[in-house]
Amino acid sequence: MGTTVFERQRPAASVVDHALKDTSFAVFWLDDVQRTEYPRLTGAVTADLAVVGGGYAGLWTAIRAKERQPDRKVVLLEASRVAWAASGRNGGFCEASLTHGHENGLRRWPDEIDRLEQLGLENLDAIGATVERYGMRADFERTGQLAVAVEPHQVEWFRDEEGFLDRDAVREQVHSETYLAGSWDREGCALVHPAKLGLELARVATELGVEIFEHALVRSIDGDGSGPVTLKTEGGRVTAGSIALATNVFPSLLTRNRLMTVPVYDYVLMSEPLTAEQLASIGWSNRQGLADSANQFHYYRLSADDRILFGGYDAIYHYGGRVRPEYEDRLESHRRLAEHFFTTFPQLEGLRFTHRWGGAIDSSSRFCAFFGTARKGRVAYATGFTGLGVGAARFAADVMLDHLSGVETERTQLAMVREKPIPFPPEPAAAIGINLVRAAMDRADHNEGRRNLFLKTLDALGMGFDS
């Protein structure tokens, strides 16, 4: 087994200690916004459409429903606060891909991949147009994304790609001695302030007439679909002709979906704002989103005030698939991220991190969202985004609304939309399998990317991943 650049060029412990010394355990994005308070649900409410979940998928569904049919009464129920979970704490990469990368989509839907990528770009264009049309202040920047090779074997993965950059060219974009090559996708990614995007979507939704209720945890769905369906909360209930479920990483209200996703924890650091001299030392004048190319990869980007968000690498599953606040603080992962940050940018030694946090990702075995209906077509759902929901949530909203309309569309006829992923096994098999996968992917990263028999078997079963 070999070593990675992050092991060969590890920074001094004192550099990491200094950087993490005064870090707050808090989500920078959520600290950086002013919230609107939405009322609690009390009593009985009726609606044409009820949306469960106040993250991106739910908010886009509410907006798209009102854009399609302005006189439709739409109610949205959020168990906590709007955009507080994944939608308020992600990296802010709003990607065009609906399939978690070209290779993942190509392997699963080779006959559709060209159209899926076109639909993804159209979806990203529509997000940008919506931001502009409603004057949404979400720090939306169509910068594209720069993927980089940081090990010699990764260089060949980029040679045939459009936008290929050799070592000198990629380092001209961003100054890191770890970069050996790269590829700049100029159109396929925008950067956003995640929490601002979520809160602005909520603002737009309410201006269009959507009623939003916070602290409205849905306990059950009543009704077999032969008539309106009722959602019950502790404070009241909503009876609606149609229901859209956008609960993602949280336990599904549909028993059939309980084993279709697992929560995997991801960790993030945010730096203090860089000085002009520090910015000059790393270049990055085109402000692209950045990601390296290992199985355990890092993603990083500049914020509007020139902080660096640095996240990824560790993906931690906890036995039982539970979502708990205490899992969000993992010093081991945050320290590892800090080490890898200073391997990437040793010229930034002395920089401090102001915030550290974590969050749960709803991961499906096909690594991208899946869709379906229940209760005789009165309930639609989308879940399993596996970290790429910032952009794909809008597409998912349209799929759910198409399903609820009862009319076949190009979207609903896609194999990617019709097919379901393989469910995860119950415990203890889930924990054993997920941790075996993580260990095998780590070994591949230390063995020039070579996948062992276990990973190849998963590939053959449709549960492998290559983004």
Task: Tell me the per-residue pLDDT of 423-464, one tens digit each, with 9 for 90 and over.
Answer: 999 999 999 999 888 888 888 888 887 877 767 777 776 666
Residue 353 lies in a domain: yes
Residue 253 lies in a domain: yes
Q: 259 and 234 in one domain?
A: yes
* 211-213/145-149 β-pairing: unpaired
Residue 344 pLDDT: 98
Sequence-distant (6+) residues with CB within 8 A of 356 are: 20, 23, 24, 25, 267, 268, 269, 270, 329, 334
Which amino acid is located at 246 in the chain? A
Please give the model's pTM, rounded to 2 decimal places.
Answer: 0.96
A 10 A CB-CB count for 407 gives: 8
Count up the domains in the chain and report the number.
2
* 43-52/74-77 β-pairing: parallel
Q: 440 and 293 in one domain?
A: no
Q: 254 and 345 in one domain?
A: yes
User: Residue 467 pLDDT > 50, yes or no?
Assistant: no
Question: What is the pLDDT confidence band of residue 381, given thresholds at 50, 70 and 90?
Answer: very high
Report the pLDDT averaged over residues 171-191: 98
Can you give the CATH number for the domain in which 275 is found? 3.50.50.60
Strand ranges (E), 368-418 = 370-374, 379-383
Residue 96 pLDDT: 98
User: What range defines the domain where residue 441 resides?
Assistant: 431-461
Residue 464 pLDDT: 64
Residue 426 lies in a domain: no
